[in-house]
Amino acid sequence: MLQLLALVFSIVSVTQVKNPRPDHWVTDQANVLDIGTEDKLNTLAETLYRTKKIELAIVVVDDVRETPKKFATALFNHWKIGNAQTNTGVLVLLVMGKRRLEIETGTGIEGALPAAWLADMQARDMVPRFKQKDFAGGLVAGVQAIHDHLATAPGEGMTEQAPGEYRDNGSAVDPGSAVAPTSVQPVAPQEPPYIAPPPEEDEGVPVGPLAAGGAGLLGL
């Protein structure tokens, strides 16, 4: 079984994943998406970037050696997704070999895309399609939901935060272009920019049938 899986899914490292930017936002190294789907995803991501200055990357790979969560964090930081000052990047990663979906967000956009909202959205819009092997439809539905949520709810769920993070200063502030309140002076970051939250555990979403022996690992 393991030999068969090795033939079907190619394990990739972070450095082997082609960065589609600056011209595109989608990398499909598993050959799951057709041209029309890639165009839809690129259009949604490009619109979000032009209107909100939020960078949204969509990646599909065969398989990874580490956990999908750790891979997503490493790829997010390797590509430096998001604005260096506001850290408002988003990575949608689908790992076919592990049937896992990861959505990684920069620290500056966590208030606009809280974990609870992302979990509900994935369960509602993405996972049901993935379970029907409609991976293209699931990705389009998820990216569309993220696009619409960020476009219509700037500053949602935001509270006072540390300098350099996304903030709502009591006025309408677009995600990705927010500035620090006048009462707080921005300070030099103590860590390199583009840092995604560290992977504490594998919190990815199982998206379909698993290979024999994988169900216990995912707690299904």
Query: pLDDT, tens digit, for every residue of 27-68?
Result: 999 999 999 999 999 999 999 999 999 999 999 999 999 999
pLDDT digit string, tens, across residues 188-219:
333 443 444 455 555 566 554 322 222 222 22
More confident residue, 1 or 100: 100
Is the bond into 193 cis (omega within 30 degrees of 0)? no
Residue 98 has pLDDT above 90, yes or no: yes
Exposed/middle/buried for 19, CB within 10 Å: 0-12, 13-18, 19+? middle
- Can you say how many angstroms the Cα of residue 115 is from the centroid of all Cα atoms in its chain? 12
The domain 9-184: what is its CATH number? 3.10.310.50
130 phi and psi angles, rounded to 5 deg: -60, -40
Give the per-residue pLDDT at 13: 85
So what's the pLDDT on residue 8? 57
Nearest-angstrom CA–CA distance, 220 and 206: 9
Instruction: Give the separation between CA 9 and CA 65, rounded to whole angstroms.
Output: 11
Contact present, 102 and 139 (Cβ < 8 Å): no
Q: Which residues of 120-152 are buried (b: 16+ CB within 10 A; e: fewer)?
A: ebbeebbbebbeeeebbbbbbbbbebbbebbbe
Question: What are the structural domain ranges in the chain?
Answer: 9-184
pLDDT value of residue 206: 58
Instruction: Give the mean pLDDT of the chain.
Output: 75
